[in-house]
Amino acid sequence: MPSLTQQSLSPFGLSLFRRLRGHIRGLSSREPSTNDLPRRFAELVKRFSHRPPCSAPPPVPEVGARPHWPHPFEYASLIEAYGRAGQAEEALRLLREMKNFSCRPDVVCYTSVIDILASSGRPEEALDVFDEMLSYGIAPDAAAFTVLVKLYSCCLRQFDAAYEVVRWMVKCGCAPDVVTYSTLIAGLCWAGRVEEALGILDQMLEEECLPNVYTFTPIVQAYCLSGRIDKAKELMNTMEIIGCPPNTVTHNVLVEALCKIGSFNEVETLLKDATLKGWQPDTITYSIYMDSLCKSGLADKAFDLFEVMLERGLRPNAVTLNILLDCLCRASRAREAKCLLERSADVKWIASVVNYNTVMSRLSDGGRWPAVLKLFVDMFKKGITANSWTCNIVVHSLSKAGMQAKHMMSTICSRKWPWRTLLQIGSLTV
């Protein structure tokens, strides 16, 4: 990509960023890095101010909610809340409603709606809203331009148009920031255009735009997805050298790539050295690793890892437990799976209908229909609502067990099953 802007750099800045660019290019040439690079990069970091931490998001509003006062700020806050909840229609409704109240939407309102539509897979509508904003004489700011870059690069994969938006930003006197460039890099990486993404990273350094971990992580992921794990490791080493260490998300990408090729020893080393490297494995990290261990027939090792996870104060989520439950059932260890479900309170885990369905499905496939019904009773006792998958499993089990499946399931669905009958079924042994 050609240079987007030409800014005057101080001799120090020019020298520093040339060294940084050389290190990035060294991913291909494997040239040794400059010894004083970390110190110089640390000096540069001091020149950049840090954004204040974001406050906790407000609760999701009810459908049809509107602000108490017809002010653009109030509407923008409500639109953003709907966006976090994925309710694009409600966000659009509020934007239209503002005009009825003679409350002119500002650039923040329009930008939020455009972003929500883009994230919801509705790019054409997002472009229509952007055109509407321009027709009302509202000039886009850096955030609006960045959302447009996201729309063209991440959603539509029209990178020429995304580059044109960046040039448009410069002409309007609105310099692209790290979020703009990181968004463009992410889109290029998702499209498999890694070398081009590295060119954008090089451009950032030319313009003295400091990259962050969100800039590098998509490149690491692209390398891993294409099987170039060594390149991903080199880039992560570069991140540490320049004072931008990989975070947990970045390491999770690498852990998943290593698990896919069966390099469990390297994963163990990563987890062992995590504290020294300045990152903390989370529930997702352990879930990825345990899933690969289970699929490789190493169920016992996966459960040892589960105990380590609990000892470190991490709470398993529904995905984590479903991985272990499915692993036990596939290994014909349904009794242990049942015990794990019953242990849910000990690990501060609220078992879901999906978890119960996983175990009951495996038990049904193995012909252990009384055990299926006993778990179904346990679901009722815990107040867990059955879904269609649950009903199908129970119908199949009742049929195989020689019971009157149709009558029994009509009673189940109407929630009028006598407790005496439930207790009788619950007394069956697994």
Q: Evaluate whether 394 touches 409 at the Cβ level (below 8 Å).
A: yes
Q: Is residue 390 domain-resident?
A: yes
Place of tokens 């390149």: 231
Please give the pLDDT value at position 402. Answer: 62
pLDDT of residue 32: 39
The answer as to whether 195 is a domain residue is: no
Task: Please say whether the dihedral angle defined by the alpha carbons of residues 364, 366, 367 and 369, taken in this order, is positive or negative.
Answer: negative
| pLDDT score at 218 | 96
Domain count, the chain: 1
Tokens representing residue 96 in the block: 């239209």
Whether residue 398 is contained in a domain is answered as: yes
Local mean pLDDT, 10-residue blocks, the chain (430 residues): 42 44 49 44 44 50 81 91 92 90 90 95 94 93 95 94 94 93 96 94 90 95 95 93 92 96 94 89 95 90 89 85 82 75 69 84 78 80 83 80 54 49 44
Query: Does 424 map to a domain?
Result: yes
Please give the Cα distance from 382 to 391 (Å, whole number). 17
**317 inside domain:** no
Cβ atoms within 10 Å of 16's Cβ, excluding its own: 21
Whether 401 is covered by a domain: the verdict is yes
Q: What pLDDT was estimated at residue 156?
A: 94
Neighbours of 58 (CB within 10 A): 11
Which domain does 399 fall in, by range?
367-430
Q: Give the pLDDT score at 125.
A: 95
| CB-CB neighbours of 291 under 10 Å | 20
Has residue 418 been placed in a domain? Answer: yes
Q: Confirm whether 372 is domain-assigned.
A: yes
